[in-house]
Chains A and B, each alone.
Chain A
């Protein structure tokens, strides 16, 4: 059963357009939402949480329309967004006391477990925590009320490698029972390699790929060769190209591979796919208005 279904979500800003975003997240999976800074990850997450109002599109969570059942749906959502400077001059225990009252399934034992696991002192003020510790604190709140779907906006940014690894381990533990799912945005590609079943790739406000991780990577190829070998036909198929003194390397779609049989072909990493997409020119129809 899909926990999250997003259909044709569009939002237009003066300098940015979220263009016809559609994807589905099934029960029991982790979906990594990837894109460079400003690609539209946060806008997408805020749109599906009704924080910003899309011009068109439907969001269905747990089989219910988010527009019509927002309050009931949020009871079963664990959310951490990018902004963690909320009520920073207040003690953690005070904030937690307030938050706990809103959730019917608040679990004090789970709360204490994650406080201990993340080594967070509840007597500290939010503002006294480092950025990484703030992230851990807000994750603790999100993990303490038995949510079914977790939506995290760049949860690993600001964390040291050990903490990142631990967090990704927790993500795996959450989905282990096959009933919970996680959608998390990131621009750290190594996180996805460690911990994502599905990849949702956004670029300039447009979803350019939504697939399981292996198929997503297999959908691209990295070609290398001499620039002189490139005909206009070749060039028209390149997603983006890097030129250097000994030739070029470019990202192409796997389906275009037969055209490039005289070139050296490599498998790209997730990072390659992201970097080359970031270098490509913006198609006019998606450009800022």
Chain B
């Protein structure tokens, strides 16, 4: 498993994907911005590019000849994407703190940058994984439709979070004031992220066992 992860980060994942997460997270420094676009950029830019690169490099054909099991191949790829998601969230947290330092609080046009925002980002990524991977592993090659469907659902979730805040900021006011509630949402988000991703792994493994390479 460690060797597979080594392979992922040595040849499959270009450092550009980490740099792009840094750049997307830096967009948080735009004042009065729609901050839920930050996780969505990962879904609509990083993921299709990465899956496309796997296909262009014929990674499945390369990896399956190594002494590894199919289940581990799925696990390594999903762990890689999850690690990239966590890096993306990590950069988001850094820029969120910087945002507060630079702008010294103040109300935002949409959802505020706080622990609840990070918790909801975890939920968006968890549901994105839950939809994307099982669909993707039906072929382990075609990623267009799985990415579109998963991104649309992620966008819908982001909209559900953002739009009420934009229309009537009072409705989400409690999330800006209640730090305990924010932390609860953050914890729930992390737990749901793990549960959704684990479920995605189980479904993906089942699909990939049947795929002909």
Taken together as a complex, chains A and B put the C-alpha atoms of A42 and B24 apart, in Å, by 44
Judging by beta carbons under 8 Å apart, are A102 and B67 in contact? yes
Among B4-12, B89-97, B103-111, which stretch is in contact with chain A? B4-12
Judging by beta carbons under 8 Å apart, are B57 and A86 in contact? yes
Judging by beta carbons under 8 Å apart, are A101 and B69 in contact? no
Assuming the contacts A87-B62, A94-B11, asked whether A102 and B212 have C-beta atoms less than 8 A apart, the reply is no
Which residues of A sit under 8 angstroms from B67, Cβ to Cβ?
71-72, 74-75, 102-103
Which residues of A sit under 8 angstroms from B66, Cβ to Cβ?
74, 99, 102
Judging by beta carbons under 8 Å apart, are A51 and B64 in contact? yes
The smallest C-beta distance from B62 to any residue of chain A, in angstroms, reads 4
Taken together as a complex, chains A and B put the C-alpha atoms of A70 and B73 apart, in Å, by 13
Taken together as a complex, chains A and B put the C-alpha atoms of A75 and B65 apart, in Å, by 10
Judging by beta carbons under 8 Å apart, are A83 and B210 in contact? no
Which residues of A sit under 8 angstroms from B64, Cβ to Cβ?
51
The smallest C-beta distance from A282 to any residue of chain B, in angstroms, reads 23
Taken together as a complex, chains A and B put the C-alpha atoms of A229 and B61 apart, in Å, by 54
The smallest C-beta distance from A210 to any residue of chain B, in angstroms, reads 25
The smallest C-beta distance from B14 to any residue of chain A, in angstroms, reads 10
Which residues of A sit under 8 angstroms from B6, Cβ to Cβ?
98, 101
B100 touches A (CB below 8 Å): no
The smallest C-beta distance from B58 to any residue of chain A, in angstroms, reads 4
Assuming the contacts A51-B212, A97-B10, A98-B7, asked whether A70 and B57 have C-beta atoms less than 8 A apart, the reply is no
Contact string against A for B residues 63-95, beta-carbon threshold 8 Å, 1 for contact and 0 otherwise: 011111110000000000000000000000000
Taken together as a complex, chains A and B put the C-alpha atoms of A98 and B59 apart, in Å, by 13
The smallest C-beta distance from B2 to any residue of chain A, in angstroms, reads 9
Taken together as a complex, chains A and B put the C-alpha atoms of A88 and B6 apart, in Å, by 18
A90 touches B (CB below 8 Å): yes
Judging by beta carbons under 8 Å apart, are A102 and B11 in contact? no
B160 touches A (CB below 8 Å): no
A85 touches B (CB below 8 Å): yes
Judging by beta carbons under 8 Å apart, are B212 and A86 in contact? no
Cβ-neighbour of B11 out of A75, A79, A98 (below 8 A) = A98
B3 touches A (CB below 8 Å): yes
Assuming the contacts A46-B213, A101-B6, asked whether A81 and B11 have C-beta atoms less than 8 A apart, the reply is no
Interface of A, secondary structure class, is: loop
Judging by beta carbons under 8 Å apart, are A86 and B10 in contact? no
- Beta-carbon contacts under 8 Å, A78-118 to B: 79, 81, 83, 85-90, 94-95, 97-99, 101-103
A218 touches B (CB below 8 Å): no
Judging by beta carbons under 8 Å apart, are A81 and B210 in contact? no
Which residues of A sit under 8 angstroms from B58, Cβ to Cβ?
83, 85-87
A237 touches B (CB below 8 Å): no
Contact string against A for B residues 148-163, beta-carbon threshold 8 Å, 1 for contact and 0 otherwise: 0000000000000000
Contact string against B for A residues 20-58, beta-carbon threshold 8 Å, 1 for contact and 0 otherwise: 000000000000000000000000001001111100000
Judging by beta carbons under 8 Å apart, are B212 and A87 in contact? no
Judging by beta carbons under 8 Å apart, are B212 and A101 in contact? no
Judging by beta carbons under 8 Å apart, are B10 and A81 in contact? no
Taken together as a complex, chains A and B put the C-alpha atoms of A267 and B213 apart, in Å, by 40
Judging by beta carbons under 8 Å apart, are B10 and A94 in contact? yes
- Beta-carbon contacts under 8 Å, B22-66 to A: 57-59, 61-62, 64-66
Which residues of B sit under 8 angstroms from A72, Cβ to Cβ?
67
Taken together as a complex, chains A and B put the C-alpha atoms of A51 and B208 apart, in Å, by 11
Judging by beta carbons under 8 Å apart, are A86 and B3 in contact? no
- Beta-carbon contacts under 8 Å, B178-213 to A: 210, 212-213
Cβ-neighbour of A98 out of B10, B65, B70, B212 (below 8 A) = B10
Taken together as a complex, chains A and B put the C-alpha atoms of A63 and B10 apart, in Å, by 35
Taken together as a complex, chains A and B put the C-alpha atoms of A53 and B209 apart, in Å, by 9
Taken together as a complex, chains A and B put the C-alpha atoms of A71 and B3 apart, in Å, by 13
A-B pairs with lowest CB-CB distance, top 7: A74-B67, A52-B212, A86-B62, A86-B58, A51-B213, A102-B66, A75-B67
16 A–B contact pairs at CB < 8 A? A46-B212, A51-B212, A53-B210, A71-B68, A74-B67, A75-B67, A81-B65, A83-B61, A86-B57, A87-B11, A87-B57, A87-B58, A88-B57, A94-B10, A97-B10, A103-B67
Which residues on A are within 8 Å of B, measured CB to CB?
Answer: 46, 49-53, 70-72, 74-75, 79, 81, 83, 85-90, 94-95, 97-99, 101-103
A51-B212, A70-B69, A72-B67 given; 20 more Cβ-contact pairs under 8 Å: A46-B212, A46-B213, A50-B70, A53-B212, A71-B67, A71-B69, A79-B65, A81-B61, A86-B58, A86-B59, A86-B62, A87-B57, A90-B57, A94-B11, A97-B10, A98-B10, A98-B11, A101-B6, A101-B7, A103-B67
